[in-house]
Amino acid sequence: MGRTRFARRRVALLGAAALGLALAAAPASAAPLYPAPDPDPFYATPADIAELAPGAVIAVRPMPALPAFPETAVTVVRFRSTSSEGAPIAATSTVLTPRGHRPGGPLLSYQHIINGLGAECSVSRVLYTANPDLMVKEAPALNVALARGWSVALPDHLGPNFAYGAAKLGGMITLDGIRAVRQVGELGVGGSPVTMAGYSGGGMATAWAAALAPRYAPELEIAGAALGGVPMNLVSMMEQLGFAAHPVFGLALAAGLGLEREYPDRFPLSEQLNERGLAARAAMANSCTNGILAAGAGRGVMDFARTTSMISSPEARAVVEENSLELYDGVPTMPIYEWHSPIDGLIPIDAIVRTDRRWCAAGTPLQAELTPVPDHLTAAVLGLPGALTWLEGRFRGDPAPSNC
């Protein structure tokens, strides 16, 4: 199966299969399985983290230069953020600073697509490994931004538990990452105009950050957010797709495990797994894309659940609803650029349209663009140039266009 086809199905399976497993009635058999602790003390959570404010800087580390980003300094910033259930957590953002960046010059927070359950899947790690995902999918667009003199922050928006599938979490980490990097004097972004961008899973984190900002980070002045291919409603994806076996079912199971890590009392996925499911969970507990795919290849919900009896659980469903942006009552107050394919096979387009209309009705300046290709990943590539042009206009202070 090609890279494009797997990308088209990845997010679609998230809501459907993860919730389906969580709703299967079964006796308890296992507690949540969290990722192995990172042995690097830089990534440790300080004992006094509860005393820190969201966005407070914990540590700063300069990193070696990267061939993929010529003439660019790399700095990792550790900071305090908030879990899905309101607990203090430590998170990380990697900042790329081009040689041409001037103090106070533009800062773009770019939310990368991360498919993973372990520490080695984070942006701050992947940049220094042989994993090609970031280089192939993101580096060209990031180098365009860097060539314009923009600093780029890349938050590890899945959080310390690598809660793949917990979209609201990604929004809070994104906002706290912006708060944090602006406090690091040597980065020269304390007074910078700020924008955000992301596609697919990174678009979910971006969209959630935009919608949460008025309540979670009202002091931040963000000039705009560009978001593409965003799954706006995980519940509708569940209802649309069902639970058939699929070559990339592992990504769906990973999303369920990620939600369980964030909501262990409300989304008890591991309690519903049979022996095969528990073995797959163990195999992927610290894996990135390839390991996750291998663990679930060609399987479906019924291969890993203890029973075929699917019983509705209001609490498990509520977790998925809480991570469905269409159902969140807040709206962005910053300008929004939103793009997607009108015939994308994986995302319920009507959920995007309804969300856009609700935001427009609430007064959000929104520019919606259709990328007329029937492919999720191609829509990302073709839509990024327009998104970067729109972001440049926000940095200049031009009036934000809207086609509401």
Mind listing the pLDDT tens digit for each residue in 15-56?
Answer: 444 444 444 433 445 789 999 988 999 999 999 999 999 999
CB 24 within 8 Å of CB 309: yes
pLDDT at 132: 55
Which of 230-234, 300-304, 313-317, 396-400 has the largest mean confidence?
396-400
Host H or E run for residue 72: strand 72-82
CB 369 within 8 Å of CB 245: no
Q: Following DSSP, what letter does each residue of 361-390 receive, concatenated?
A: HTT--EEEEE---S-HHHHHHHHHHHHHHH
Lowest mean pLDDT among 6-20, 307-321, 370-384: 6-20
pLDDT at 346: 72
- Span 124-172, pLDDT tens digits: 888 888 665 555 567 888 999 999 999 999 999 999 999 999 999 999 9
For residues 127 and 220, the model is more confident at: 220
For residues 1 and 392, the model is more confident at: 392
The answer for 337, left when phi > 0, alpha when psi is -120 to 50, beta otherwise, is beta
pLDDT at 136: 55
Q: How far apart are CA 243 and CA 253, in angstroms?
A: 11
Phi and psi, residue 90, nearest 5°: -100, 140
pLDDT, mean of residues 206-230 = 97
Environment class of 297 (CB within 10 Å of its CB; exposed 0-12, middle 13-18, buried 19+): middle
The HSE-up count of residue 194 (CA atoms within 13 Å, CB side) is 26
Please state, in angstroms and as integers, the Cα–Cα distance from residue 135 to each residue in 143, 150, 232, 352, following that order. Answer: 10, 18, 26, 28
Nearest to 45 by CA among 140, 159, 132: 159
For residues 379 and 246, the model is more confident at: 379
CATH classification of 1-39+93-404, choosing from 3.40.50.2300, 3.40.50.1820, 1.10.150.120, 3.40.50.720? 3.40.50.1820
Which of 62-71, 135-144, 393-402 has the largest mean confidence?
393-402
pLDDT, mean of residues 227-252 = 80
Q: Following DSSP, what letter does each residue of 104-133 receive, concatenated?
A: T--EEEEE----BSSGGGSHHHHTTSS--H
- Band (312; pLDDT cuts 50, 70, 90): low
- Band (281; pLDDT cuts 50, 70, 90): very high
Domain edges within the chain: 1-39+93-404
For residues 132 and 345, the model is more confident at: 345
Q: Is the pLDDT of residue 2 over 60?
A: no
pLDDT, mean of residues 103-111 = 97
pLDDT, mean of residues 77-97 = 97
pLDDT, mean of residues 217-238 = 92
Residue 103 corresponds to which tokens in the numbers above? 């103090």
Phi and psi, residue 146, nearest 5°: -65, -40
pLDDT at 363: 97
Q: Is the pLDDT of residue 307 over 90?
A: no
pLDDT at 176: 98
- Span 175-205, pLDDT tens digits: 999 999 999 999 999 999 999 999 998 999 9
Max alpha carbon distance in the chain (Å)? 60
For residues 5 and 243, the model is more confident at: 243
